[in-house]
Structure 1
């Protein structure tokens, strides 16, 4: 399981959600990269009982993910996925869509 984020082809800055222009160097060329897991920084319990978590990943990429397959607490490390169908194991689901103009 992995989640996809965007990396500037020039300065290697990492972004999620995707951007059209790098805020560090103003480059407009990006590559897709992926990350396997993230460290839970904060957890929110929604009214419907679903958990969401703020995750910190390498390169200081931050995701807000829906927690699937269990519950988490701050300090836990969980796997990440862009596929909502992978609900058999504990994972952070990050809906992925490209926002190119």
Structure 2
């Protein structure tokens, strides 16, 4: 599942994680944007063979993620997932709202 970020309907600023109000224009109206890929900015290897990284979503949102199944490089484009249960050769895992969950919320 791809990750979902919010875009303010008033000023178009993007947010992750989800917000109730826009910090720039105070609008409460948002639309969901599905993000499938991100760019690795920084990363570090931690105990247990895990790799954590700072990734950039949509060119403007920075998020922390577990980098799974890859040997990352700065500037590398990588798929982004909201579920770590998916089989993939390499991806960034960000706990959050998956695209399918966001769709279910808007159709109910």
- TM-score (normalised: structure 2): 0.80
Give the unaligned 5+ runs of structure 1. none
The equivalent residue for 1:40 is 40
CA distance in 2 between partners of 1:83 and 1:89 (Å): 14
Q: Deviations over 1:29-85 (max 9, x none)?
A: 222111111111000212222111111122502221111122212121101111211
Q: Is contact 1:14-1:59 (8 Å) kept?
A: no
Task: Give the 3 Å change call, closer, same or farther, for CA 59–9 of structure 1 in structure 2.
Answer: farther
Structure 1 segment 1-101 matched on structure 2, within 5 A: 2-97=2-97
- TM-score (normalised: structure 1): 0.85
CA distance in 2 between partners of 1:9 and 1:75 (Å): 30
Q: Is contact 1:68-1:87 (8 Å) kept?
A: no
CA distance in 1 between partners of 2:34 and 2:59 (Å): 11
Where does structure 1 differ by over 3 angstroms across 4 or more consecutive aligned residues? none
> Quick check: which one's helix share is greater?
2
RMSD over aligned Cα atoms: 1.8
Size of the aligned set, in residue pairs, is 98
Q: Secondary structure at the match of 2:41?
A: strand
Give the unaligned 5+ runs of structure 2. 102-108
